[in-house]
Amino acid sequence: MGLRGAAASFSFLLVIIINKGLPSPLTGKEAWSYVEVRDGAHMFWWLYYADDQPAGYKDLPLVMWLQGGPGGSGSGFGNFEEIGPLNRDLEPRKTSWVQAASVLFVDNPVGTGFSYTDRADAFTTNVTMVATDMLVLLKHFFTEKAEFQNIPFYIFSESYGGKMAAAISLELTKAIEQGTVKCNFAGVALGDSWISPLDSVMTWGPYLYTTSLLDDYGLADVNSAAEAVKQAMEQQQFTKATELWSVTETVVEQNTNGVNFYNILTQQPDERRFSSAGENYIALQTRRHIGPLHSQSLSELMNGPIRKKLGIIPQNVTWGGQADLVFSYMAEDFMKPVVDIVDQLLKAGVNVTVYNGQLDLIVDTMGQELWVKRLKWDGLSGFNKLRWTPLDDPTSPGITGAFYKTYKNFAFYWILKAGHMIPSDQGPMALQMLKMITQQA
C-alpha cells in the first residue's frame, strides 16, 4: 500500500468513526438524498444540521450553499474545501459554517458533483431552467424536512452560483407567495458573483494594470479583447461572447505570465497556465475553471470514502463526471447578465448582500461596483450616500479584515486579502460575515 493508499484507508476509517459519533464538533446530524427534479434529471443534496451547543439547529438559520462553474460541486468543493465541518483531509475545520447554521449543499445544476442526468437532453440550458429545477428540489426538501419550514433560510453562493442564486431566489419568493413552497426565506448573499459578466471582463485590464500585472502593451491587448466581447454582447451573439470571453482570458494569461484568475497574488500551476494550440473554449473553460474545483485529491475523496459513506450514488455515476457537459450546455446563457433579477429581488423586499474578495480577478470588485451603481432600486441613492465601516479581522484585532455598508435591504462586504474563494482564503472573516448577515452578530 502506497502513501496515498494508506491515507485513503485512514480517511475511510475516520469516516466510519464519524458515523459512529465522535464528541463535538463531529457529532452533528446529517442527511442526504436525491430528488428527480425532471424526467432523467437527478439532483443530490447533503444537509448538515448546525452543531453549535447549546443553541442546537432550531435556534440557528439554514444556509444553502451554491457553487459556481456552472459544474462546480457544493457537496465536494464547498463542503470539503470551504465551509463544511471537515476539510479535504477529513480533519475538523475551525471555521466551519456548521457552528453558526445548518448547511445544505446542493449539487446544482443537474450533472454537477453527484447530481446526474440520464440523457443529454436533460441538462439545463439557462438559469430559468436551473431555478425551476431547484424549486422542485426545495419543495421536496421542505416537505421531507418540515422541521426547517420556520427556520430562517438563506442562500449563499459563489461565482456562477450567484447568478443561479439570484434566479432561484426570485422564483422562491414567488413560490412562497403562492404557497407552493413552505419556508422562511430570509435573504440571499452573492459572493464574487457572475451577475454582470461584461462588467467583469471590461474591468480586467484596468484592475490588472493598477496592480502591476499588465504593462501598457498588455493593457491595450486585454482591453481590445474585452471590447470584442462587448460587441458580441451588443449584437446578441451570446455563444460567440462566451468564446471571446475565453479568448480574453488567454490574452490575460499571456500578458501576466499566467496570473491566477482566482487570486491575483498567485499564478496558475504550470500545467494549467497556458493554452495549447487548438484547445477550444469548452476545453479551456474546463481546464481553467472546472479543473481547479476537481483536484485529484478531492476527486479521490469524493469517489472513494465519501461515496461509500453516502451509499446511494448509482454505480455508473462519478462525482464530477458530467461537469464539463454542464458548462457546455449553458454556454449560450453564460454571459447574459441578471442585474434585472437583483433589482426585482430588491423591489420585492428580499435582503440581498453582495460580498467580494479584494484579490479576485475573474469577478473583480471594480466590475461589481459598476453594476451595483446601475441598479434601479429606489434605495440606491441612500446607499451611495453612506460611507463604509471597517471590520476587524476576527483573528487579528486592530487589523482591518473587511469593509461593509448596509442600507435598507441591501448590503455590500469588501473582503480584504481574499480572492474568489473567500471562505478558503479568509475563513474567520467569512464566518464573521455569515453571522452578521444572518443577524447573529
Ligand X SMILES: *[C@@H]1O[C@H](CO)[C@@H](O)[C@H](O)[C@H]1NC(C)=O
Active-site residues, by number, are: 159, 360, 420
DSSP 291-315: GGGS-HHHHHHIIIIIHHHH--S-T
Q: Burial-class residue 19 by CB neighbours within 10 Å (0-12, 13-18, 19+).
A: exposed
Stretch that binds ligand X, among 125-133, 134-142, 205-213, 248-256 (CB under 6 A): 125-133
Amino acid at 148: F
Distance CA 290, CA 71 (A): 7
| Closest CB 377 distance from ligand X, rounded Å | 14
Neighbours of 179 (CB within 10 A): 7
Q: Contact region for ligand X (CB under 6 A) — 60-68, 126-134, 273-281, 337-345?
A: 126-134
210 by Cβ neighbours in 10 Å (0-12 / 13-18 / 19+) ranks as: exposed
Nearer to ligand X, 102 or 263 (CB): 102
Q: Among 99-107, 122-130, 305-313, 365-373, which window interacts with ligand X (CB under 6 A)? A: 122-130
Q: Does 34 bind ligand X (CB under 6 A)?
A: no
**CB closer to ligand X, 59 vs 118:** 118
As beta bridge partners, residue 223 has none
- Binding mask 289-318 vs ligand X (x if CB under 6 A, - otherwise)? -------------------------x-xx-
Query: Within a 10 A sphere around the Cβ of 254, how many other Cβ atoms?
Result: 15
Number of chain positions touching ligand X (CB under 6 A): 14
Bin 236: left if φ > 0, else alpha if -120 < ψ < 50, else beta.
Answer: left
Binding of ligand X at residue 440 (CB under 6 A)? Answer: no
Nearer to ligand X by Cβ, of 126 and 254: the residue is 126
Measured CA to CA in angstroms, residue 197 lies from 60, 159, 167, 370, 420 at distances of 34, 10, 15, 11, 15
Residues 399-418 contacting ligand X, CB under 6 A: 406, 409
Q: Is 351 in the site for ligand X (CB under 6 A)?
A: yes
Q: Identify the residue among 125, 237, 295, 440 touching ligand X (CB under 6 A).
A: 125
Q: Toward ligand X, which CB reaches closer, 232 or 411?
A: 411
Establish if 335 lies at the interface with ligand X (CB under 6 A): no
List contacts with ligand X (CB under 6 A). 116, 118, 125-126, 128-129, 186-187, 314, 316-317, 351, 406, 409
